[in-house]
């Protein structure tokens, strides 16, 4: 084990996969020049090692990036296309949704698209409405796409390596506020299986199911709730599609109560899919209705006091759990 920042773990994953497989390459805007506290800083040193033909600066055009990446993937390479923020992913939606996601199906498996699309999600202080969205549910809705949402440095590395090796298009969504977070990362060829959840905390009274940074917030809320005698089990999905139904159902059968917190707008969020599936298939073991917790249907404000009113925090999660347990 070595302690490192999430961003460094992701850089290690890219470097290791590029050394392992010469068909792996990266493309995006200003990858070799921007630096700073964006995903571009994770390419520091890669261009010096692998050259400008494998770490490629592109025009400021997300649909150009995605179109080039899809074509290159079909032609036999494994591109990692960096769109920086999921908010900019909308500019590349046609190439991702109508081409990358459907090619394998439309060609009867004769062609595949081994493509990774990096999109940063989540609220970061002061970035406001156009840079703070969590739209993972949009991509989950598209057949053919894999959607990954790591919460820890270890999973950031292990899941990115798994994504690069996957033969289907993967939307890899990293929370902006996790890039600087530190955690222990296993040494060696650390690969985390796609579609397998992680139990961050064991408990018997209530199950929380979350992903990305909200999984860590749920864990923080659960630790605080333990002081009040509420024993919460926290499931980090890690991958929202496919999601680990077996792990979630096993926990729900044990606790009988489910809270699904998400940073995304609650309306139409992925939490609704989880809640509906649990309610439909485990209604006989539920001790209370499934509860969702998400942001209101409003753009993210810029002003800090307004942002604090909209953003879901561990305190909000803990309050919702107490209400479910009748201890509000």
Positions marked catalytic: 131
CB within 8 Å of 70: residues ≥ 6 apart: 95, 96, 99, 100, 103, 113, 115
CB within 8 Å of 303: residues ≥ 6 apart: none
Instruction: Please give the Cα distance from 107 to 99 (Å, whole number).
Output: 11
| Letter string b/e over residues 286-321, b meaning 16 or more CB atoms within 10 A of that residue's CB | beeebbbbbbeeeebbeeeeebeeebbebebbbebb
Using DSSP's 3-state secondary structure scheme, residue 129 falls into coil
CB within 8 Å of 290: residues ≥ 6 apart: 258, 260, 275, 278, 279
- Strands 116-121 and 170-175, by their bridges, are parallel
Q: Which two tokens stand for residue 245?
A: 């139904």
Instruction: Please give the Cα distance from 106 to 308 (Å, whole number).
Output: 46
**Of 184, 181, 218, nearest to 201 (Cα)?**
218
Q: Which two tokens stand for residue 218?
A: 């749920």
Contact indicator for 285, 256 with CB cutoff of 8 Å: yes
Q: Which two tokens stand for residue 44?
A: 């520091």
Contact indicator for 133, 88 with CB cutoff of 8 Å: no
């Amino acid at each position: 084990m070595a302690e490192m920042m999430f961003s460094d773990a992701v850089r290690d994953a890219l470097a290791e996969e590029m050394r392992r497989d010469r068909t792996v390459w990266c493309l995006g805007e200003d990858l070799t020049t921007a630096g700073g506290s964006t995903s571009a800083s994770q390419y520091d040193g890669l261009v010096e090692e692998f050259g400008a033909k494998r770490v490629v600066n592109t025009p400021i055009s997300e649909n150009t990036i995605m179109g080039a990446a899809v074509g290159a993937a079909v032609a036999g390479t494994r591109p990692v296309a960096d769109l920086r923020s999921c908010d900019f992913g909308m500019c590349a939606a046609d190439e991702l949704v109508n081409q990358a996601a459907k090619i394998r199906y439309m060609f009867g498996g004769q062609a595949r698209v081994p493509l990774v699309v990096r999109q940063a999600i989540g609220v970061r202080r002061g970035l406001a409405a156009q840079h703070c969205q969590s739209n993972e549910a949009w991509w989950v809705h598209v057949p053919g796409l894999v959607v990954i949402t790591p919460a820890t440095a270890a999973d950031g590395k292990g899941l990115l390596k798994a994504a690069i090796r996957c033969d289907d298009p993967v939307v890899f969504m990293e929370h902006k506020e996790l890039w600087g977070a530190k955690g222990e990362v296993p040494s060696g060829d650390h690969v985390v299986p796609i579609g397998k959840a992680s139990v961050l905390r064991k408990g018997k009274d209530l199950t929380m199911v979350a992903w990305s940074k909200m999984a860590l917030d749920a864990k923080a809320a659960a630790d605080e709730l333990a002081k009040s005698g509420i024993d919460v089990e926290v499931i980090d999905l890690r991958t929202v599609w496919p999601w680990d139904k077996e792990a979630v159902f096993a926990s729900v059968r044990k606790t009988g109560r489910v809270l699904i917190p998400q940073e995304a707008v609650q309306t139409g969020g992925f939490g609704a899919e989880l809640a509906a599936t649990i309610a439909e298939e485990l209604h006989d073991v539920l001790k209370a209705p499934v509860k969702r917790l998400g942001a209101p249907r409003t753009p993210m404000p810029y002003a800090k006091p307004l942002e604090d009113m909209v953003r879901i925090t561990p305190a909000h999660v803990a309050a919702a759990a107490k209400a479910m347990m009748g201890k509000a």
